[in-house]
Amino acid sequence: MLISSGCQIISPLFVDYYGVRRDVAQWINQHQLLSMQQKRLLVQLSRAQQQLRKIESKSAEQQIHIMKENMMAIHCATPYITEQKIQQLQDKIFDPTEKQHILDFYNQQRQNIQIDLNLVKCGH
């Protein structure tokens, strides 16, 4: 016999930081005022953004994949994460001397990529 209580856990009570640099994971985790959903979105965005650091050395096919991942991660994060918090995350991920070059490259290249963000299912 299965007995269930009146409440159900809708989402996990933890954030999976796998694939996120330790310093970035600690930075995300220290923000006590962020909800678990916001932390998970920052982790997803962090995983995608970290790949931008070496994007220029990747094949064209890999670059497109990385660009699409970033476009989807940003699309999912922006309704719940402020632009300021996203910029702070990027400051943690990228070296100050390379940040602008990487983001300029990303912004230039993503103009050539077609993706229907209305079809993206954001996992909250």
Indicate if the pLDDT at residue 116 is higher than 60.
yes
pLDDT band at 96 (very low <50, low <70, confident <90, very high): very high
User: Which tokens is 19 given?
Assistant: 């694939």
pLDDT band at 92 (very low <50, low <70, confident <90, very high): very high
Using DSSP, state whether 77 is helix, strand or coil.
Answer: helix
Model confidence, pTM: 0.83
Amino acid, res. 115: I
Indicate if the pLDDT at residue 6 is higher than 80.
no
Indicate if the pLDDT at residue 9 is higher than 70.
no
Q: Residues with Cβ < 8 Å from 61, sequence gap 6 or more?
A: none
Phi/psi of residue 35, nearest 5 degrees: -75, 165
pLDDT band at 13 (very low <50, low <70, confident <90, very high): low
Cβ atoms 21, 29 nearer than 8 A = no
Rounded percentage of the chain residues whose pLDDT exceeds 90:
73
Mean pLDDT for the stretch of residues 32-58: 94
Separation CA 9–CA 122 (nearest Å): 19
Q: Residues with Cβ < 8 Å from 75, sequence gap 6 or more?
A: 117, 120, 122
Indicate if the pLDDT at residue 11 is higher than 70.
no
Separation CA 117–CA 97 (nearest Å): 31
